[in-house]
Amino acid sequence: MKPFITSFDTLLIITAFIIMINGLSRRWALWKKKKDKTFSGSLRRVILYLVKHTEIRKRPFVGAAHMAVFWGFFLPLTIIVLAQFGFSIPNAPALFLSFLQDTIGIVMLAGILYLFFRRIQSGETDGPERTIIPMFILVIILLSGFLAEASRLSITGSNAAWASPIGWIVSFGIPSSPLFMQCMIRLHFFAVLLFIAVIPFTFMRHLASAPLNIFYKKQGPKAALRKITLETGEIGAKTAEDFSWKQLLETESCVSCGRCEENCPAAISGKPLSPRKVIRKILEQAQTAAGCQSRLFKPSAPSLLEDTVSSDEIWACTTCMACVEHCPVFVEAMDKIVDMRRYQVMGKGNLPAEARPMIRDLELYGDVQGKGPAHRADWAMHRDIPRIGDVEDAEVLFWVGCSGAFHPRNKDTAQAFTKILNAAGIRFGILAQEELCCGEISTGFCSIG
């Protein structure tokens, strides 16, 4: 019997995988040197994420479409891998699997088309090579698969048409031609190989990078900033190489879905900031520096981030964390923006003109209003508001902040809050003159229990 896969086909399969592995290993070069032990991985986290799709499902339609594409991809892949190991399935479950594959295939096609048109409509394509081409290949894979199945049914007939419902329906509209069937099988085969080969060069590389980013998901408080290490003499990010390996892995995992941008108050209010574009620009810089953009894989001197991310962009960020909260693959645009600011302020002494008086007041008076420690507790005068040191067994330190201490409206809020604490019988205290600006313009409290 003639083998289904010829030696030439085997060569093509090997070539496709070599291209894919070579491409992915180039991507790996982007951040591998920077890997440290700060992040530990969890396979369980990845599996739970993939099964539940919790973050992606926050948008029901996109979530459903992505789930359809994921399972439509994963199920046949599992069957193919099992088949390579000679794993044979009895007739009844095999027919059921065929039914499942057929139905998932049509749902997957609908999902891809939905995501495809949504991307085009929202302009989130970032160039056709990134999104449109791989999606187009996926559509060809599915359509050729259905047509090959349909032509097989139209030639051989089937007494189990229920197991291939889509193929059975399509079989009424196509010729009963063995040549046509062979053409569709070959088209399906070549499209699959092409898809495998283009994974590292398109946004489909998120198939590898996004699970990896979930594997190494940052633990602890969301958007916690990187500690500044003075040993290297470098503060913040001057070039893409100054970001940590995890930060670069995050830029690699971005799927350009635009959720960060849609929820960014700076972008919404018309400021020149798009967290999505910031991530993209950092990735492009990192790619160039690592040589991923060059055919000969030649690394080049990293260019300055400020050449591509403008100071208007980085200073438009309010550090509100909305981008962090809404990203489905745990990419944090905020910490990268803060690192770029750190370099501008502490590395170059560049500060926006409107921030200079505030920084001067911070240095001279320890608050952003320029009032000084002597007036820090004026808001609490003649009220039963104790200092933390005077409270026995204090449970809560009420951190008032510059805003609560000096802003006329927020002073009322701070006073009202102490009434609530008293009414609740909570033993609390304030730092009064000892409190200095924390860098956040807000009123808050922290537990010391």
Site residues (vs ligand SF4, CB under 6 A): 254-260, 264-266, 273, 275-276, 279, 317-323, 326-327, 329, 331, 333-334, 337
Least CB distance to ligand SF4 at residue 271 (A): 8
Contact 175/154 with Cβ under 8 angstroms? yes
Closest CA to 322 of 278, 259, 251: 259
Query: What's the start-to-end Cα distance of the chain, in Å?
Result: 77
Collapsing DSSP states into helix, strand and coil, what is residue 244? coil
Rank residues 46 and 257 by Cβ distance to ligand SF4 and give the closer one. 257
Nearest distance, CB of residue 445 and ligand SF4, angstroms: 23
Smallest distance, ligand SF4 to C-beta of residue 67, A: 17
Q: What are phi and psi of 428, to 5 degrees?
A: -130, 170
CB burial class (10 A; 0-12, 13-18, 19+) of residue 424? exposed
Residue 309 and residue 281 in contact, taking contact as beta carbons nearer than 8 Å = yes
Structure tokens at 5: 């896969």
CB of 92 to ligand SF4, least distance (A): 42
Q: Which is nearer to ligand SF4, 68 or 283 (CB)?
A: 283
> What is the Cα–Cα distance from 244 to 339, expressed in whole angstroms?
10
- Burial status of residue 314 (CB atoms within 10 A of its CB: 0-12, 13-18, 19 or more): buried
> 280 vs 407, which CB is nearer to ligand SF4?
280
* Closest C-alpha among 181, 182, 183 to residue 170: 181
Smallest distance from ligand SF4 to CB 269, Å: 10
CB 124, min distance to ligand SF4, A: 8
**At its nearest, how many Å lie between ligand SF4 and the CB of residue 369?**
23
Q: Pick between residue 32 and residue 58 the one whose CB is nearest to ligand SF4.
A: 58
One-letter amino acid for residue 374 of the chain? A
Between 42 and 318, name the residue whose CB sits nearer to ligand SF4.
318
Q: Which sign, positive or negative, has the C-alpha torsion 5, 7, 10, 16?
A: negative
For tokens 């920084």, name the residue.
359
How do beta strands 428-429 and 446-447 pair?
Answer: unpaired
Nearer to ligand SF4, 166 or 255 (CB): 255
Strand 396-397 vs strand 428-429: parallel, antiparallel, or unpaired? Answer: parallel
Nearer to ligand SF4, 55 or 395 (CB): 55
Q: How far is the CB of 108 from ligand SF4 (least distance, A)?
A: 21
264/277 Cα distance (integer angstroms): 12
CB of 240 to ligand SF4, least distance (A): 16
With respect to ligand SF4, which residue has the nearer C-beta, 111 or 258? 258
User: CB-wise, 280 or 387, nearer to ligand SF4?
Assistant: 280
Measured from the CB atom, is 120 or 143 closer to ligand SF4? 120
**Nearest alpha-carbon partner for 343 in 378, 377, 307:** 307
In the complex, what is the shortest distance from the CB of residue 287 to ligand SF4, in angstroms, rounded to a whole number?
16
Contact 254, 130 (CB under 8 A): no
DSSP letters, 84-96, are HTT----HHHHHH
Structure tokens at 433: 């003159």
